[in-house]
């Protein structure tokens, strides 16, 4: 797994934080949306403790802003969960602990990386998904939330069917990975903070600002975090984003739970 921060943070452009601030304030000034815009943060590749992981938890705790955490089942042990519990109240409504694959292995021989893609049989997919869920239920019990983030933000439609059979409620992938058939609710990501591919810091910043602006215009801001790739500049930017959204009544802090569609009321029985 990569650990070097992307170029944006290795060579953070001067005035970059102000650029982020201005982008959000300009798009919010133009917005006439009548309700607070939902904002969601999702952190991937969770299970191993590190200084960056604890710093990320502390940051969200300080801002009292919720975070969806995608746990890799094979990375999480009882001892590691106890260590996380000694640092934060894992049962707090701030945290939405959910499943991130089984062991974060790529199974696609060609093309984009994917743990649950077309190269695998239904039984192999089903086996890994259910033992992943079982393992998380054993380790974290009722603090498990039935949502799924596939590694590399994509999975096959067959995987979605199996997830629904296993009792999952929602899936979170990149925007653009949505196919035709999805029996689950979809909580896509539209802002990528740490796995950016640009080879120039300034263009990375501009593209990130575009993602933020478009997300606000979509009235849905959903931000992906990779704490292993964060340095001090990345923490500064995340701190700024949390400051801007947490203190603003035009935004509404969400986890997957808050974004679930309300169930339609049952139609009352008719007839005598």
Residues that bind Zn ion (CB under 5 A): 44-45, 151
Give the Cα separation of 143 and 146 in Å (integer): 10
Q: In degrees rounded to 5, what are phi and psi of residue 51? A: -60, -40
In whole angstroms, how close is the CB of 35 to Zn ion at the nearest point? 32
Nearer to Zn ion by C-beta: 114 or 237?
114
3-state SS track over 151-168: HHHCCCHHHHHHHHHCCC
Give the Cα separation of 225 and 42 in Å (integer): 6
In whole angstroms, how close is the CB of 101 to Zn ion at the nearest point? 7
Nearer to Zn ion by C-beta: 39 or 72?
72
Nearer to Zn ion by C-beta: 62 or 106?
106
Nearer to Zn ion by C-beta: 148 or 251?
148
In whole angstroms, how close is the CB of 34 to Zn ion at the nearest point? 36
User: CB–CB of 182/204 below 8 Å?
Assistant: no
User: CB–CB of 163/173 below 8 Å?
Assistant: no
The tokens describing 12, both together, are: 């953070």
Nearer to Zn ion by C-beta: 20 or 193?
193
In whole angstroms, how close is the CB of 119 to Zn ion at the nearest point? 18
In whole angstroms, how close is the CB of 144 to Zn ion at the nearest point? 18
Inter-CA distances, 257 with 162, 171, 179, 243, Å: 20, 12, 22, 22
């Amino acid at each position: 797994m990569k650990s070097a921060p992307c170029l944006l943070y290795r060579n953070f452009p001067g005035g970059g934080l102000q650029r982020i601030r201005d982008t959000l304030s300009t798009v919010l000034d133009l917005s006439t949306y009548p309700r607070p815009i939902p904002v969601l943060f999702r952190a991937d590749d969770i299970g191993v403790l590190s200084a960056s992981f604890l710093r990320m938890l502390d940051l969200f705790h300080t801002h009292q802003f919720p975070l969806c955490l995608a746990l890799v089942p094979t990375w999480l042990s009882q001892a590691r969960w106890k260590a996380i519990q000694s640092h934060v109240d894992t049962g707090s409504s701030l945290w939405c602990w959910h499943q991130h694959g089984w062991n974060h292995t790529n199974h696609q021989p060609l093309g984009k990386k994917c743990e649950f893609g077309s190269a695998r049989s239904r039984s192999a997919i089903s086996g890994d998904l259910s033992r992943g869920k079982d393992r998380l239920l054993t380790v974290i019990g009722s603090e498990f939330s039935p949502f799924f983030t596939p590694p590399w933000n994509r999975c096959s439609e067959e995987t979605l069917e199996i997830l629904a059979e296993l009792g999952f409620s929602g899936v979170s992938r990149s925007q653009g990975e949505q196919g035709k058939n999805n029996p689950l609710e979809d909580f896509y990501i539209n802002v990528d903070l740490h796995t950016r591919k640009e080879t120039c810091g300034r263009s990375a910043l501009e593209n990130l600002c575009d993602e933020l602006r478009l997300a606000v215009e979509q009235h849905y801001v959903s931000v992906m975090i990779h704490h292993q790739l964060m340095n001090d500049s990345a923490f500064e930017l995340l701190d700024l984003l949390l400051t801007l959204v947490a203190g603003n009544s035009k935004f509404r802090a969400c986890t997957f739970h808050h974004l679930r569609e309300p169930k339609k009321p049952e139609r009352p029985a008719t007839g005598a």
